[in-house]
Amino acid sequence: MKTGVFDLLKGKFLVSGDAPKNWLFIIFISFLATVMISSSHSADQKVHQIALLNEEVKELRNEFVDMRSDVQQLKLESNITGKISEKGLYPSETPPQKIRVKSLNEKE
């Protein structure tokens, strides 16, 4: 047991007769560790990108609500009347009348 631990610490398993098998296993484990690290970095990057996009969506939603309220204010009749009165146009005092056109085929 004592010699097995010393052999492991000295690295004799890397230079012994079956060393190529051990080297292949070490290379395989290193490759898996590299893939795992790159996958973790990619996932972190996507999480940060999603957070940024969520912030942008919130900002755009707030901007949309502000613009919608501005448009509703601009569509009010009192606002339109004030703007056209500056140009010399005023609302009519008499209400509009419906004009009916009778065709020749229509009998009444």
pLDDT tops 60 at residue 95: yes
The whole-number pLDDT of residue 107 equals 61
Q: Confirm if 31 and 23 have CB atoms less than 8 A apart.
A: no
Q: Confirm if 13 and 19 have CB atoms less than 8 A apart.
A: yes
Q: In this structure, what are the phi and psi dihedrals at residue 61, rounded to the nearest 5 degrees?
A: -65, -40
pLDDT tops 90 at residue 92: no
Q: Confirm if 22 and 13 have CB atoms less than 8 A apart.
A: yes
| Least confidently predicted of 15-24, 30-39, 68-77, 82-91 | 15-24
Which token pair is 7? 């052999």
